[in-house]
Structure 1
């Protein structure tokens, strides 16, 4: 049975599932053990699964998480961690009208996108991250900052709740690695 170090490890694997392919690797790639960092960071975590088995396990875990989590939490995880840009767009479209914030629609839309695609990712032009461009009504900067903090806090709360739910799900299914004392 495959195990994950924690919810973050699981989420990172299932949200990057597209990078795992079924193609035949060169001999040097087959010799490289992708879980080497797991052994360094996780105290010897090794599941002895083939790449195909690992992909199947991650796919099944992703499906279970998606089915189990409330839709808002799932979409928050997808928006924050998925590498699939189409999934991120869908998550943004889902979360924007549901985000609890005193801000107007334009502000919420831009704030959600800025939260999902941080400036360092170079996904959006740098002008997108200028706070005053998120408002066309001349709202004072202090109010804009408060709206941004409120909106981001709500989104972060959804991700935190999803992490706890994933941790509980993994624990319940016996998929968490536990060191034997």
Structure 2
């Protein structure tokens, strides 16, 4: 049991893939399908011995486990919301946008999903890590999202509903991830 909560496990796992470390896959050497010591991460950590797995190994293992066991919509919602990996984040946004039902145009939905997944960052542009996606301030102006010039209240309502749908997807994904992580025995039991 290594994670204090589901969200901390998700964020750690999604962050692990951006760390350039050639030993990230060391946990795979310890996992032996069909053997008693290969049932879950908690068992692997206990049985690892001298070659035990590190926190980074555990994060990579959780990443792989969640990616393989969550339904694609849930995985994409988590990646879009919490990942800092540019390519995966962009793929997740592209995956989610067509899933959002809205009376808004597809352009508006795509821009709203992107703005939800990549919120504006405080601070001066250009002074952030190059590993993060930073959109220009003008991107967040909804006037450019609707080429038909609908009223501001309509656009705000559309954006609010789109954000609610995406937040609901993330909520469902966190619950599903929690069930997986609980089964794997990697969450600290706060009741104990």
Unpaired runs of 5+ in structure 2? 24-44, 126-133
* Aligned residue number for residue 27 of structure 2: none
Alpha-carbon distance between aligned partners in 1 of 2:149 and 2:52, rounded to the nearest angstrom: 54
* Match of residue 22 from structure 1: 21
Indicate how the Cα distance of structure 1 residues 58 and 126 shifts in structure 2: closer, same or farther if over 3 A, else same. same
Q: Report the equivalent of 1:13.
A: 12
Q: Which residue of 2 aligns with 1:83?
A: 84
- 1:19, CA displacement in angstroms? 4.3
Runs of 4 or more consecutive aligned structure 1 residues displaced over 4 Å after TM superposition: 47-52
Q: Which residue of 2 aligns with 1:166?
A: 177
- Deviations 1:70-103 (Å, cap 9, x if unpaired)? 1011001101111110111111111111112221
Number of residue-to-residue matches in the alignment:
158
Q: Shift of the alpha carbon at 1:180?
A: 6.8
**TM-score normalized with structure 2 length:** 0.74
Alignment of 1:47-66 (within 5 A): 53-66=54-67
The reply on whether 1:67 has 2:68 as its aligned counterpart is yes
Deviation larger for 71-80 or 170-179: 170-179
Show the counterpart of 1:32. Answer: none
Is contact 1:16-1:82 (8 Å) kept? Answer: yes
Residue equivalent to 2:142: 131
TM-score by length of 1: 0.79
Structure 1 residues without counterparts, runs of 5 or longer: 25-46
